[in-house]
Amino acid sequence: MSDFYVSKLAVVGVGLIGGSFALALKQAGLVGEVVGIGRGRANLETACERGIIDSFTHSLVEGVAEADVVFLATPVRTLARVAAEALPYMKKGAVLTDGGSVKAEVVAAIEPLLPEGVHFVPGHPVAGTERSGAEAAFATLYRGRRCILTPTSRTDRGALELIRQLWRAAGSEVVDMTPEKHDHILAAISHLPHMVAYALVNAVVGCGDQDEDILSYSAGGFRDFTRIASSDPTMWRDIALSNREALLEVIGIFEKSLATVKSDIAAGNADALFDFFQRSKQRRDAIV
């Protein structure tokens, strides 16, 4: 394991994702010093108090200068800009990696910016909660979860192996795939459900009379079902726009699926409805 020791880790954006990564690596004994980089002083102080980082700076240039690994954990639409600022100041042999929820757009923007001898390993730990900030970080967030790495033909194999081992040390099962395949899969299992949840809450509110809050009748099922509609609107706006094509495609598939249910209800096709619900139930039950 000592082959993969990181003397200095810089985390840009010390929130749930970045903070939990630092905590997990500290707990695994794989990291020496951790510097936190961000704008909000209160959050960075919280991160220091909680032992997530050892020091912090508001200067990206200063923070990344001596780092062996730089982890970008800022909102997906800021990743290319932050990388463009940081890369010229990273040392030879250092590795930039990220935790962005969309990969093709990020990879296309960052790879052309890489200086000679500085490496980039695009990644996405498939984990999270509705909470955010350094306060929400915890060392076991990634345990038993998947982390998807999306190397390209330009990705350095040594750097890829390092980042793979770090995620394994954090407890994740690491899977490699192309950025495009990642975006297609995440569009289906994550981005589409969020769009559907937001649209569902909006629709149900719209079904009520003006003088009555229809949501007050909702039982546990509705609350569980719409929990993800409580997610951060900025984050999901950015994801939706960054993964536009794949997301539009899966929304289209979902619309057809719902249209089938609707026309079977309208036509009173009892057997078709039963078969449809039964198949969905079987597939759903198989994953739990």
- Which residues from 242-261 bind a second copy, rule CB under 8 A? 244, 247-248, 250-251, 253-258, 260-261
Q: Is 72 in the site for a second copy (CB under 8 A)?
A: no
148-185 b/e (C-beta count within 10 Å ≥ 16 → b): bbbbeeebbeebbebbbbbbbbbbbebeeeebeebbbb
Residues 41, 58, 154, 227: which binds a second copy (CB under 8 A)? 227
> Which residue stretches of 40-191 are H helix?
41-49, 60-64, 79-86, 104-110, 157-169, 179-186
Q: CB of 283: closest distance to a second copy in angstroms?
A: 5
Q: Is 196 in the site for a second copy (CB under 8 A)?
A: yes
Residues 128, 151, 171, 179: which binds a second copy (CB under 8 A)? 128
| Both tokens assigned to 46 | 């919280």
Closest among 111, 187, 112, 94 to 150, alpha carbons compared:
111
Closest among 158, 150, 152 to 177, alpha carbons compared:
150
Q: Is 268 in the site for a second copy (CB under 8 A)?
A: yes
Q: CB of 130: closest distance to a second copy in angstroms?
A: 9
- Tokens 């910016």 belong to which residue? 113
Which CB sits closer to a second copy, 28 or 204?
204
51-59, 153-161, 164-172, 236-244 -> range binding a second copy (CB under 8 A):
236-244
Which CB sits closer to a second copy, 36 or 75?
75
Q: Is 167 in the site for a second copy (CB under 8 A)?
A: no
| Both tokens assigned to 277 | 């619900």
